Each structure stands twice: as structure tokens, then as C-alpha cells.
Chain A
Amino acid sequence: MTGSVIASTIPLPSTFDDAAFEAFLAARDEPEWVRDARREAFEVFREKSAEPLDPEEWKRVDLRTFRPENYAVRAAGAEDAAATFGTLLADQAEFAGQVAHLDGRCTASRMNPELEKQGVLFGDLATLVREHREVLEPHLLTRAVRPETDRFSAWHAAFWTGGTVLYVPRNVTLEKPLHSLIALANSGAADLSHTLIILEENAQATLLEETASATVDAAGLHVGAVELLVGRGANLRYVQLQNWNEKVHHFAHQCGRVEASGTLQWTVGGLGSRLAHIHQDVHLDGRGASAEVNGVTFAVDRQLISYYTKQSHNAPDTRSDLLYKEVLRDRSRVVWRGMIRVEKAAQQTDGYQRSDALLMSSAARADSIPGLEIEADDVRCTHGATAGRVDEEQIFYCMCRGLSKYEAMHMIVEGFFQRVFDRIPVEVVRETLSQAVERKLGFGD
């Protein structure tokens, strides 16, 4: 092993260079419009890779040990690893449909036939782009996540491997939630899955998505994107629980757009990964649109979990409310950089953002940086951030009442997360997160 040269710009990783891209395209049977979009994105990927990343977003995310050339999209025909492993959500509720991806390829896709009759589409993106161009082309990487944002969005747009699509037509309500699993099994596998949800006017749906690793030591890469397009008066509840093992690098561009009177309830769980960086945008595009964003993060060991969030109020009478809660142990680090942006037209806007960090060790570190950019003059925008250690007196008090130190810690952490758990609209997610938190707390600490 020899040391590595550090540079602010990177050449294309050998597993994602020109030759790799051509081989990738050749192995996929895709319509011309998809190939053209990929080629354009690849050019942007090349340009962006030669430019430094935006320091405002990336300076706290240490990429010096990240080796993209260690990961590759699996070649077609490679043997699938056994995909029988437990996940947080898969068996926890009755779902109206399930889609699963393993190492970037769809392994299962099913939906209640009743929904199909109502015109709902739910399945693998790689399949649906071939059959439903009219539905997907106007929305795929055009309105929400843009390839030209940075090298990771362009990388994803050039090499996306598949992903989950949900399209709900006008006035259709899905009573039961849907489930999507993104999994990594083989060491060195890259997953570039894309989640695209399109809700037309007055549609309603809930999608629970989770990421998981088959083993604890398979190193993997996820360069993903999530696009949530909520139509006029529609209501989307979307949950993504990131629960990779601690060897995975996770980069994601996630963007929601909400039209007039639409509602988006978005919950993000950050539990796994070695390094995760999520660029999360919420755009409120129509009068009366609202978004609630919840974040639950628990970092341990040397995990680095970073969020770069933006709530954009682009129309009057819009409301956004972001609450992130982070617990850190050991030498972990959590970074949250949040921004509320209010355009001139967005009068009577109500924007709120808050991030609270609880540090369970002196070597853990939380950076919370809230921000406001307000062009309108008749708005209410508030933000706050806190970071603090577990109060020894609280632990002492609990132990005086007969609790063990572990029980006391658990109670304090559970209490810390309670406010955000209370806001999560799906009970099974609340319970699952609560159990996951308990597991991450470990015993004997």
C-alpha cells in the first residue's frame, strides 16, 4: 500500500470513464431518448469532474479517502448473490406493492392488480422507460434533480442503473403504502438507483423506501437520486431509511417539488454508511403548497453523515417545516447545512428549520449551520440549531430511580428523538426507527 495524492479535482474514475460508459450503454437495451440523455449527462460528468466541488456544500465532507475506482456497475449476466437478508421494513406491514433492487438490478417487482386498473404505475425504472416514455420523459431528471448541479448528479444521470418509479394518476388514492428496497450485496458494487414519484392532481400515496447491505463488510457505493413531483392538491408521504453497513459510501441528490395546495411529508433516516452526503431540496412551487421534512440520524464509530438542505419558497402562502435530530457516538460526525430561500413573489410564507444534535462522546462532532435568504418582505421564517452533550445529572437521576446506565441512556435518546418521531405520519416507520435506534445504542455503554 502506498499513500495517495490528494487533488481538488479528480480525473474520471477508471470504472466510470469513457470506455466504461460505452460498455455500460452497450449492455443496456434502452430507447434512444434515454441514451441521448445519458450521453449529455456524461459530458457534464466529465466537465464537472474537472471542476472543484462547491466548498460551501463540501468543505466539511472529507473525500480524501474516497476511491470511486474501487466500485463498478455490475456487468450484465453476473451472478446474483443470495438476496435473502432481513431489512428494517420489508415484513413490517402489508404493502400494496414492492420493488427490490440488488447491486443496481431489479430483483422483484409486484403491485396489487387493482391499482394497475386505476392507471397506477409502480415498478423498475429500467423497464418502465421502455414502455411509458410519455409519462417518464417529461419528468426524469428534468424538473427536480438536474444533471448539471454537480459531479454527483451528472454521474448519476449518466450511469443510473434502475430504481423505483411510482406514478399515480389524477384523483387516485392509494390507501396502503408501497415498499421499495435498494440493496447492495457484493463488495465493490455500485448502485446508482433512481427513485421517481409522480403524483398527479389530488392523488395520494405513501412510499417507504430503505437501503440495506446484505453483509456487514461488503464495501459499496451508492450514487442515487430521488425526485418527488407532487401535483396540485396531491399528498405524498415518502420515507427513505438509509441503513447501509458501515463500509458504504452514499451520495444522493434528492429533490421534491410541490404544486399549489399539495403536501409533501418527507422523512429521512440516516443510520448506516461510512460516509453519506445528501443534497436535499424542497421546492414549493404553487400557492398554498406545504412540506414537512423530518430527519432522524444516528452516527457511530467513524461515520460521517452530512446533509445539505434547501427549502425554496417560490410562491405565496407556502409553508415548510424541517426538523432534524441527530445522535452521535464515538468519533462520528454529522454535518447539517440548511437554507430557507424565499423568492420575491413568495409573500405570506411560513418557513421553519431546526436541527438538534445530541453528543454521546467528547470525540463526536456536529456542525449545524442554518441559513436564510429572503427576498420577500411579508414572511415568517425562523430557524434554530442546538448541540449538546448528554446531561450526566439526568443519567444520575435515572440511575437513582433504579435504571441501569444503558436504560437511562436509551430513555434519554428516545426522548430526544420523540419530537421528530411524533411527526412521522406512518406508524410502522416510527416503530422501526425506534427499534433501529435501540440497536445502534448498543449494550454496555
Chain B
Amino acid sequence: MPDFIKYAEPNEIPPNGRKPIIVDELPALLVRIGEDYYAFEDTCTHDGQAMTDGAITDHEITCPRHGARFDVRTGKPLCMPATEPIAVYEVEVREDGIYVKPSA
């Protein structure tokens, strides 16, 4: 099983901020909502392109091109045109930074 990898310093990402990262050789996004962090695949399953700058409200990211929405906690698609989920990764907040676990 792959181990957690450090992706950000403790206060590197401001509240409601985000950081593009690479997990499993795939683009992903590490976001901070309040004190919680979430990491998920940064590719819309509808058109296969980046959602890096998509708006995030109430734990939902909206794809900037066609408006597909995903739950950043579960990866579940919430509206058309997306029908497939995005991958989500486990995140651990440790004293020395924010860690993400690549999927097995």
C-alpha cells in the first residue's frame, strides 16, 4: 500500500484556498475548506479536462466549462453533464504538513 506523501506546509493553503498537485502521476487538487482539507482528481469526467479554477461552494466543485458539479468529499457527480465520479484521496493533517495518500 502506498504511504501518505506530504504535499503542503501546515499553513501554506489559506482557508478556501487550493493547490494543484500530482498524485499517482495524475493531476489532482488539494483544497482547504475551513479547517478541513480534501484532495481529488482534477479532471472533469465529462470532457476530460482540468477543473483547477472551478468555483467551490458547500463542498462542491463546479467545472468551469460545462457546469458539471462534484462532491469533493466523495467524488460523486451531482449534476449533468457528468455521470461518472472523480477519484478522491485520503488526506491527513499532521503537525508538519498536509499529507495525501495515493490510491492503491
Contact = CB atoms under 8 A, between A and B. Distances in A.
B94 to A, nearest CB: 15
Q: Size class of B's contact patch?
A: 10 to 19
B50 A365 contact: no
A6 B26 CA distance: 13
Interface in B1-28: 5-8, 19-22, 25-27
B22 to A, nearest CB: 6
Nearest to A4: B22
A60 B65 CA distance: 13
A299 to B, nearest CB: 14
In terms of DSSP, what is the predominant structure of the interface of chain B?
strand
Nearest to A304: B48
A259 B22 CA distance: 47
Contacts of B48: 60, 62, 333, 365, 367
B62 interface: no
Interface of A: 1-6, 59-60, 62, 64-65, 302, 333, 365, 367
In terms of DSSP, what is the predominant structure of the interface of chain A?
loop
Contacts of B25: 65, 302
A59 B22 contact: no
A9 to B, nearest CB: 15
A65 B22 CA distance: 7
Given A3-B19, A3-B20, A5-B20, A62 B7 contact: no
Given A64-B20, A64-B22, A65-B22, A3 B50 contact: no
Contact of B27 (A1, A65, A365): A65
A247 B25 CA distance: 11
B7 A3 contact: yes
Given A62-B27, A65-B26, A6 B49 contact: no
B21 to A, nearest CB: 3
Given A4-B21, A5-B20, A6-B20, A64 B6 contact: no
A430 to B, nearest CB: 32
Interface in B40-57: 42-43, 48-50, 52
A389 to B, nearest CB: 15
B63 interface: no
A65 B23 CA distance: 10
A328 to B, nearest CB: 13
B68 to A, nearest CB: 15
B21 A3 contact: yes
